Chains A and B, each alone.
Chain A
Amino acid sequence: MRTWTNKKYIFPVINGTILGILALTCLAPLVHIFAIAFSDNNEVVKGAVTLWPKSFTLSSFTFVLERQEFWQAFGVTLKRIAIGLPLNMLLTIITAYPLSKESLTFRPRTFYVWFMFFTMLFAGGLIPTYMLVRQLNMLDSIWALVLPGALQVYNVILLLNFFRQLPKEISEAAYMDGAGHWQTLWKIYVPTSMAALATLILFTVVGHWNAWFDGMIYMNMPEKYPLQTFLRTVITMPDFKYLKADDWKNLQSISDRTTRSAQIIIASVPILLVYPFLQKYFVKGIVLGSVKG
């Protein structure tokens, strides 16, 4: 009897332990950053701060909050999400809908799907992409951050598969009632796909929020950097091996780890807040799918 119960629990226990350790390794650096941000710089420089703040202070936060460049970058990121998110979602929805139809209804469907799939595997590369953006006069504008990635094929495929598993009868019924494609899409497909759309919204928002590389190469002036690009310039270490000229003068700022951590925290809080809001759609989505299946 006892051995039987032991066996029953052996998997959950091991599973829980491994997942727990994984979660902790992800959480620990974050907690460490938190602890540093709220500590006095002298303690941090000594390396005395690990997981709990020492000599608690908010001074680094007040410093960051007063920093104009930080808010400027924050503004750019908000702007890119404000433009990028609706644009991404619109393009993804109107691309996924026709592609979710059968080849009989929409003839070139197979061609388009393969064509798009091809772009997932092969890209033009950094320099051609950069040159294209430059020739289109998008350098230094918000469009360089929004347009090149406005249609994500991965998202399209995700959504078109979701559309396909919706019962065909619904759209046929709508058709019988006189709805055209536009009406079917916006009145039937979109409302019934909230779970998938919520996922895509999350992907898109997080993607825009975390992107730094495009900001760095497409923005010519640092005042136009989005938040993550700005943060990167603040937190990256100079390479000690290749110190040149008066680079050493910048080393003084290395010791300033508290303000750097404070900026990381302020920059990650908003995106962490998005998750709970979208959470309910995920739960609903899972339930919805299982019933239908």
Chain B
Amino acid sequence: MVNKVRKMITILSAAAVVSTIAACANNTQTSDPTATASAMAPTESQSPEEVKVDPFGKYDPPIEITFVGSISDQFEKTTLTDGVTLEDNVWTKAFLEELGIKVKYKWIAKSPEEYKQKLNLSLASGDIPDVMTLDTAELQSAIKADIIQDVGGIIEQYGIDEVKQNYTTYNFDPYIAAKNDGKIYAVPQMWSVSDNASGILWIRQDWLEKVGMTPPKTMDDVYAISKAFTHNDPDGNNKNDTFGLAISKDYIQDLGGLFYGYNAYPGSWMEKDGQLVNGSILPETKGVLENLAAMYKDGQIDPEFYVKPADKIAQDIASQKHGMMYGFMWNGIYPLQDSRRDNPGADWRPYLIPAADGSVAKPKADSGIAGYYVVNKNFKHPEALVKMMNLLKTLGPKDPNKYSNSADGKELWKLSPVSVPTLEENLHYHKRMNELVKSGETPANAVEQSVFDKVKQWTDKKDETVWGFYRMLGNGGVGEIAQAAIEYYFDNDLWVYNAYRGAPTQTMSDKGSTLSTLESEAFVKIITGQKDIGEFDKFVTEWKKLGGDDITREVNDWYANAK
């Protein structure tokens, strides 16, 4: 019975949701004239002349703010225990006591995908919370539907320095996607650009020694290692069962670093002679595909890579089939840690990405924005959001064991509906670990102490469970610690950003999936040798014809405006 309802619902949902956002949302607004009227001028009434700016001003009587939440199974297991809930915890108590803000949730989702679904329902039915987090595309629909308010300047006006600082750390304008008609409709949630940037080349040291090679300095070294790992039996079991380079069906992402080595950035928008161009169709990308085809032919790549999801490749890594992969700074924790369960000798080391010319590659940085906080048009205290951020930045560092991360692994900071991360926090701790070890000082605060203890647990006691953590941010240099490589990229200003920071354009939404299917089919055919490299030029023509040219034009229009 319910089966049928579900089936209908699922079929209708995907397409219907986005397109109805605007219509329905407007509907609710007009049907409630009093609410609309009172919401007409929230920003004016908050101008600096009328309201005394107090970053920690307490609301009396207390106000209530509704949010929507997202938790994960992991978080539920570790942190939401002993009666702690999202609505009743140390942070909600602090918000109420210090700021007079009552935190309520309209709903809570248990996965990012579910969050999206529920959010779309909320937007479509016009039943939105006071404050919520949207992505770029959702932000654009919300602006168009006129359901959120101008929050321009509230960070600068109400924020304390520690909060403001987050918005000036990187040299790009974080508000760029939130601007519309001279107004700013969102407060970006800043995030470390290095966290999800593919900037590390992980190689098994024990395999390198076995085949008698040294860490790679150039692209040719990488190919030589890949070849040796495939044919020279690095695991010493006298079977030809190893591969040179671990890649899954998301090969573009897995191979990020290999592409960066040739200044190729498939899927990203890059500036070339003042114009934005898509990295997928550039000759640099073509060259990398050619090399990959040669590696595939030689058996250095899993012949079935294009059907294997990432977790399948993780299994292969755990069963000692791979010795080299491009990836993230956190890969030590997953999946590399898994390869040590069976074989503690699996000594993965993080290296800088070599470039074809023998220098260091320029890795692509993450967008640096995890989402956009938007405020319901009818909500009268948009500054409350910033006040909460201020409190987060004050209480968090003061008593981290109670408010940030407890010693027993509770992620307490996630109990707050708003978060202000410390940017490049992992890098900060890595630097501190180096300092502490060198100077012999004791850690300055409780968080530092717990990080230090964890690192020590590996360096002194060789506790396997913290190996991945140590490889991420422990003490040491490039080739030992992933963050050391990240530090190098920052010090030498090597990060490259996606030049397009706007929302998906019309043609991107319409044709995007067609184009990416076209791309992955063409690329896989080239890599696996079903088609020769000439196929690439055919793909480029096709790509342009099927909407690529339109997208390029839209993106460049945006770029001209943004400049």
Interface string of A200-242 (1 = CB under 8 A from B): 0001100110111110110011100100000001101111111
Which B residues from 470 to 493 make CB contacts under 8 A with A?
Answer: none
Interface string of B310-352 (1 = CB under 8 A from A): 1100111011000000001010011100100110000000000
Secondary structure type dominating chain A contacts? helix
B4 lies within 8 A of chain A by Cβ = yes
Contact present for A127 and B2 (CB under 8 Å) = no
Specify which chain A residues have a CB less than 8 angstroms from the CB of B328 in the assembled complex: 248
Identity of the chain B residue whose Cβ is nearest the Cβ of A127 in the assembled complex: B124
A17 lies within 8 A of chain B by Cβ = no
The number of chain B residues with a CB under 8 A from chain A is 64
Contact present for B113 and A236 (CB under 8 Å) = yes
Interface string of B356-374 (1 = CB under 8 A from A): 0000000000000011000
A253–B76 Cα distance when bound, in Å, is 12
Contact present for B107 and A241 (CB under 8 Å) = no
Contact present for A247 and B73 (CB under 8 Å) = no
A256–B333 Cα distance when bound, in Å, is 13
Contact present for B3 and A207 (CB under 8 Å) = yes
Specify which chain B residues have a CB less than 8 angstroms from the CB of A191 in the assembled complex: none
A196–B105 Cα distance when bound, in Å, is 45
Task: Give which listed residue, B24, B73, B110, B342, contacts A42 with CB less than 8 A.
Answer: B342
Contact present for A250 and B72 (CB under 8 Å) = yes
Specify which chain B residues have a CB less than 8 angstroms from the CB of A131 in the assembled complex: 125
Which B residues from 167 to 210 make CB contacts under 8 A with A?
Answer: 189, 191, 195-196
Known: A127-B17, A127-B24, A249-B74. A214 touches B121 (CB 8 A): no
Specify which chain A residues have a CB less than 8 angstroms from the CB of B316 in the assembled complex: 47
Secondary structure type dominating chain B contacts? helix
Task: Give which listed residue, A120, A126, A240, A252, contacts B9 with CB less than 8 A.
Answer: A126
Contact present for A208 and B341 (CB under 8 Å) = no
Specify which chain A residues have a CB less than 8 angstroms from the CB of B111 in the assembled complex: 233, 236, 238
A247–B334 Cα distance when bound, in Å, is 12
A247–B4 Cα distance when bound, in Å, is 33
A244 lies within 8 A of chain B by Cβ = yes
Identity of the chain A residue whose Cβ is nearest the Cβ of B23 in the assembled complex: A127
Task: Give which listed residue, A42, A247, A252, contacts B333 with CB less than 8 A.
Answer: A252
Known: A48-B319, A254-B314. A125 touches B16 (CB 8 A): yes
Task: Give which listed residue, B6, B106, B112, B318, contacts A46 with CB less than 8 A.
Answer: B318
Task: Give which listed residue, A42, A129, A245, contacts B370 with CB less than 8 A.
Answer: A245
B45 lies within 8 A of chain A by Cβ = no
Contact present for A126 and B110 (CB under 8 Å) = no
Contact present for A149 and B342 (CB under 8 Å) = no
Known: A46-B318, A248-B328. A149 touches B112 (CB 8 A): no
Contact present for B3 and A210 (CB under 8 Å) = yes
Q: How far is the CB of A59 from chain B (nearest CB, A)?
A: 15
Contact present for A207 and B2 (CB under 8 Å) = yes
B65 lies within 8 A of chain A by Cβ = no
A42–B3 Cα distance when bound, in Å, is 37
Contact present for A233 and B73 (CB under 8 Å) = yes
Contact present for B17 and A248 (CB under 8 Å) = no
Closest 6 CB pairs of A and B: A220-B107, A233-B110, A211-B2, A47-B315, A245-B370, A152-B1
* 8 pairs, A vs B, C-beta closer than 8 Å: A123-B5, A125-B9, A208-B2, A240-B248, A241-B250, A241-B253, A242-B112, A248-B333
A207-B3, A222-B109 known; 17 other A-B pairs, CB under 8 Å? A42-B341, A42-B342, A45-B318, A126-B12, A126-B121, A129-B5, A145-B2, A148-B5, A149-B1, A208-B2, A213-B9, A225-B110, A241-B250, A249-B330, A252-B333, A253-B73, A254-B311
